[in-house]
């Protein structure tokens, strides 16, 4: 049985949307991070799906790139969160508006 590509894409879309909503609505920086990971993985899923569809390895290569970048980002991001937590005693994004006009 061959699952049509649209299924993958729909799933990926759903995952991505969940991630977006998470990023936009949650207050906890850690949760936001996790939502971002979700979005990245939704993209990964799409890439893999197309890769299989077109019988090309390019998608796989990109996925690795994405995973590497995501890992790096998590490392830096978590470090930032820790640093912020040390000064602000909070990881709620509402409390950080240093860029405010």
Question: Residue holding tokens 């759903």?
Answer: 14
- Which of 64, 62, 82 has its CA nearest to residue 74? 82
- Which of 41, 53, 38 has its CA nearest to residue 7? 53
Neighbour count for residue 31 (Cβ, 10 Å) = 15
Give the nearer residue to other proteins in terms of CB position, either 64 or 92: 92
User: Residues 5, 18, 20, 74: which binds other proteins (CB under 8 A)?
Assistant: 20
Neighbour count for residue 17 (Cβ, 10 Å) = 13
Q: Which 25-54 positions form the footprint of other proteins (CB under 8 A)?
A: 25, 32
The footprint of other proteins on this chain (CB under 8 A) covers a number of residues equal to 13
Q: Does 96 bind other proteins (CB under 8 A)?
A: yes
- The SS3 assignment for 92 reads strand
Q: Does 97 bind other proteins (CB under 8 A)?
A: yes
Q: Which 74-93 positions form the footprint of other proteins (CB under 8 A)?
A: 93
**Size of the chain in residues:** 101
User: Residues 23, 31, 66, 74: which binds other proteins (CB under 8 A)?
Assistant: 23
Q: Which residues lie near other proteins (CB under 8 A)? A: 20, 23-25, 32, 93-94, 96-101
């Amino acid at each position: 049985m061959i699952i049509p590509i649209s299924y993958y894409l729909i799933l990926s879309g759903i995952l991505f949307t969940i991630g977006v909503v998470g990023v936009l609505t949650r207050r906890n920086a850690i949760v936001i991070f996790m939502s971002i990971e979700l979005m990245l993985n939704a993209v990964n899923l799409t890439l893999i799906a197309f890769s299989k569809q077109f019988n090309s390895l390019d998608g796989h290569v990109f996925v690795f790139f994405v995973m590497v970048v995501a890992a790096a980002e998590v490392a830096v991001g978590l470090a930032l969160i820790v640093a912020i937590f040390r000064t602000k005693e909070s990881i709620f994004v509402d409390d950080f508006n240093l860029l405010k006009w």
